[in-house]
Amino acid sequence: MSWVRTNRCVWPTRRPALLLQLLLTLPTDRGDNRIWGEILLPMPVLAVGATGGYGAASAETVRRVARNVRDVLIERSGHYIPEERPDALAGAITDFTGR
């Protein structure tokens, strides 16, 4: 398969049917997520958002499926936190895991 990297996103260019197959799974995924969301995760979960990305919405989304959520908002980052602010992300994970 040939891939084109544009603005940090990777899209298949020679086999668009693969992308269509992915999109066709979305209704099934939504149904599965609804079922899984009926039982909240009991373990601690770290929700990481970014000021230039989803922000606090990341934590709100995770709270739909987990009881014990700690949220962290990474400043000066967009959607790609591991690429844009790796040290801040590593610090948040380290603090969360206590290591």
Q: Which tens digits make up the pLDDT trace of 68-99?
A: 999 999 999 998 999 999 999 999 999 999 97
Domain range list for the chain? 1-30, 42-99
pLDDT of residue 44: 97
Reply yes or no on whether the pLDDT at 60 is more than 90.
yes
Of 85, 45, 87, 81, nearest in space to 66 by CA: 45
Whether residue 36 contacts residue 21, with contact meaning beta carbons closer than 8 Å, is answered with no
Total residues found in the chain within this entry: 99
- Cα distance between residue 76 and residue 9, in whole Å: 20
Neighbour count for residue 71 (Cβ, 10 Å) = 16
pTM equals: 0.66
